[in-house]
Amino acid sequence: MSTEQQKRPDGRDATTTDKPRVVALPEDENRETLVNYYHQMLLVRRFEEKSDEMYKMARIGGYCHLNLGEEATVVGFCAGLEAKDYLYTNYREHGYALGRGISANAVMAELFGKETGCSYGRGGSMHMFSLEHRLLGGYGIVGGQVPLAVGAAFAVAYRGSDEVVAVQMGDGATNGGPFYESLNLAKIYKLPVIFFVVNNQYGMGLPVEKGSAVAELYRKGCAFDVRGERVDGNDVIAVRDAVRRAAKVAREEHEPYIVEAVSFRHRGHSVIDPDRYRDEEVVRRGRALDPVPAFAKRLQDAHLIDEQGLQALEEQVEQVVNEAVRFAEESPFPPVESLFDHIYASDEHLQESK
């Protein structure tokens, strides 16, 4: 989207209403693929709702940040990458773990701190990891994952392979030094990295336009001659296509690229955030653009699924999520004797240092 088209900080142009835009689906899209996108979005939605419930029941500890409202952004982003590509995320990463193919059982078990989790119960909500699925971690420090992703992209370029490294971050991370240093190095060394900015319009409690001198965040790459674009984060296909364009540039030209997806966070910054800093009308308008029912309507309007089909998917997802909770509940905690497993320094080295 051009700067001229985007005048509003919420990612909608001046003529957009507060109702979801019903955009016709591209005619050349595969039905199974489109229905699968909806299935994944619904899984993220129900999984996060259940995570919220489990957190409030004290089954999940630590911090917990949900992808509620960002389902189209999450699924579209993952769909735009190839299985061989690498992904770094911030702490709001449950949906991305699911989108990369990690099972709901393994993600829920990780939230419960169990040995069967994708990080063996050591990472919890903010630090999921799977080398098999090339998810190289969620990171709790704002912007901390960005330089690491650039380092991984340098390694890819050094060995001459054709993977892409994608790094997801929130809007607040674009105000920190690591973001700009990473853009600079990525451009200098011509690295195959995608900077994926999820602009959910609030950096914790601060609106984007109050926390950033440039509210159109993709434009921040201009100082480093890094190309980028802004996309409607409530449109799963638009996000997928933008990521594919970015991946093509990164893979074929070894050039960095910024994709800014504008979505809306339905809840507070974390599960324990009462969300009192946002006006009720702002929240109402944001939730009215809910990407999950909006995409269901697009599928129905295109006669790709009917109400019965939607209900079948709902029931299937409910079973998956309930099974994930059962699996997590019944899984063991990591044994005490494994305390020093999966760390850089071995137990012997720690003993020697005493």
Domain locations in the chain as residue ranges: 31-331
Looking only at the bridges linking them, the beta strands covering 257-262 and 193-199 are parallel
Note the pLDDT tens digit of each residue in 92-137: 999 999 999 999 999 999 999 999 999 999 999 999 999 999 999 9
Note the pLDDT tens digit of each residue in 5-14: 344 434 444 3
pLDDT at 28: 84
How far is 222 from 81, CA to CA, in rounded Å? 24
CA 343 vs. chain centroid, Å, equals: 26
pTM for this one?
0.90
Note the pLDDT tens digit of each residue in 265-319: 999 999 999 999 999 999 999 999 999 999 999 999 999 999 999 999 999 999 9
How far is 33 from 29, CA to CA, in rounded Å? 7
Note the pLDDT tens digit of each residue in 16-40: 345 666 677 887 889 999 999 999 9
Question: How many angstroms separate the Cα of 125 from the Cα of each of 41, 55, 91, 270, 317?
Answer: 19, 10, 7, 11, 21
Note the pLDDT tens digit of each residue in 151-182: 999 999 999 999 999 999 999 999 999 999 99
**Statement: 31-331 belongs to CATH 3.30.1490.20:** no
